[in-house]
Amino acid sequence: MRRYSSERRARLRDPERTRNDLLQAAFREVYRSGFQSAGLNAILAKARVTKGALYHHFGSKEALGYAIVEGIIGPDNRGQWLTPLQKGKDPIDALIGIIQGLSVRPEAVRGGCALNNLSQEMSPLDAGFRKRLERVFQDWRQGVASALREGQANGRVRRDVEPARTAGFLIAMVQGYASLAKNAQDPRVTREGIVNIVQWLQSLRATNERPRRAKARDSRGT
């Protein structure tokens, strides 16, 4: 009890820590149960703060949900997709690396994609969620499209590829396989999706890039 009191006093002295604890606890509860079923008492227990602290930082359950999108889901998506694209020289290589890095752990398959879960649940019900989630999808699509355009300029991506449409198709495939795997509760669905998406991404390479990549693979195998 004494330890809990000292931790609580520490949070009171560090409001940013309190806010982050609430946000992380709320994200985990929403990921597990969905936003509508997420219980505030469960969130408060996990964050070890009072209801007063919750309403001080967020004002309402909806405001807390919006903060999850803006403070966790959006940044996580940028870190997973856009940062590797910005750092990589070849967008196809970068995208293949991202796809091959998708988790096939049973708990990840069971829970599904946080962005997909929340958009499916709340976009039809709440304009605040819909607009914020739409921005995450837009940033994702624009980031991939921009990388593909740069790849075309550098001769790495086929000239006949339409970047925005291709980016949208990629996102649809990723989200679709996430939904299929979650519904089946089967990591094999995710693995199959990874193989199929990687094969499709390979087809986006400029013609002069394909022989070079094949030769590089052959040399690594000898």
pLDDT at 17 over 90: no
Instruction: Give 49's pLDDT tier (boundaries 50, 70, 90).
Output: confident
pLDDT the model gives residue 190 = 95
pLDDT at 7 over 60: no
pLDDT the model gives residue 185 = 93
Q: Above pLDDT 70, what percent of the chain?
A: 88
Q: In angstroms, rounded to a whole number, what is the distance separating the alpha carbons of residues 50 and 43?
A: 10
Q: Which of 23, 18, 145 is nearest to 74 (CA)?
A: 23
pLDDT the model gives residue 85 = 94
pLDDT the model gives residue 212 = 54
- Do domains 1-59 and 62-221 share one topology? The answer is no
Mean pLDDT (the chain) is 88
Average pLDDT over residues 118-139: 95
pLDDT at 55 over 90: no
Instruction: Give 53's pLDDT tier (boundaries 50, 70, 90).
Output: confident
Average pLDDT over residues 208-222: 53
Q: 62-221 falls under which CATH superfamily?
A: Tetracycline Repressor, domain 2 (1.10.357.10)
pLDDT at 215 over 60: no
pLDDT at 1 over 50: no
Tokens representing residue 157 in the block: 């991506």
Q: In angstroms, rounded to a whole number, what is the distance separating the alpha carbons of residues 20 and 32?
A: 18
pLDDT at 2 over 80: no
pTM of the model: 0.82
Summarised one tens digit per residue, pLDDT across range 75-104 is 999 999 999 999 988 999 999 999 999 999
Q: Which CATH number fits domain 1-59: 1.10.20, 1.10.260, 1.20.120, 1.10.10?
A: 1.10.10
Average pLDDT over residues 126-146: 96
Instruction: Give 207's pLDDT tier (boundaries 50, 70, 90).
Output: confident
Domain boundaries, the chain: 1-59, 62-221
For the purposes of burial, counting CB atoms within 10 Å of the CB of 30, is it exposed (0-12), middle (13-18) or buried (19 or more)? Answer: buried
Q: In angstroms, rounded to a whole number, what is the distance separating the alpha carbons of residues 56 and 182?
A: 36
pLDDT the model gives residue 209 = 61
> What single string gives the DSSP state of each residue in the chain?
-HHHHHHHHHHHH-HHHHHHHHHHHHHHHHHHH-TTT--HHHHHHHHT--HHHHHHHTSSHHHHHHHHIIIIIHHHHIIIIIHHHHH-S-HHHHHHHHHHTS---HHHHHH--HHHHHHHHHTTT-HHHHHHHHHHHHHHHHHHHHHHHHHHHTT-B-TT--HHHHHHHHHHHHHHHHHHHHHHT-HHHHHHHHHHHHHHHHTTB-TTHHHHHHHHHHHHH-
